[in-house]
Structure 1
Amino acid sequence: MEGTPCDPGTTPQNAAPRARYVPPQCGARCRDGHPCKAATMLWRSRCRMHGGASTGPRTPEGKAKALACLAAGRARRARPPS
């Protein structure tokens, strides 16, 4: 096949551009009602303003309240005995 141009192959100059990594969005509701568009923190599902950097309750009262809410939530989601 004379006269056909050779296939340039895949080289860095003619390779298709790679898609740019876009971190997931927070999605929490802001005060005005729209979803937050900030990037999530690494290995978390929310941004730093909406709890991604939270280390949890620190006072004994806060820890007790969190434990009570956890138990109540689990009781609500528990399957009824069959």
Structure 2
Amino acid sequence: MNDLLCLLQADIGILINPGPNLARVGNHFGISFIPLYHGIIEKQKTYAKKDSTSWNKLSGVLYTVSSWAEIHMFIQGSIYTD
């Protein structure tokens, strides 16, 4: 719970498998939890319309993923497989 403020102040706050208690507390304080992939697509659509490229810190949004592979795919653009 203590890390929520740090995650909200980050450029992109990402949670791996947030539990239902965290979601309940976050929702109580107006924090939205959005799947990373879906959220990025929506951001791209918004920026295409506004011609803007900056992220809005303290937007009250935290992104969720189910594994490190999703974060890797977000950063690198592909999933690393060996």
Q: Same fold (TM over 0.5)?
A: no
- The structure in which a higher percent of residues are helix is 2
* Normalised TM-score (structure 1): 0.25
Structure index of larger Rg: 1
The structure in which a higher percent of residues are strand is 2
Greater RCO, CA 8 A, separation 6+: 2
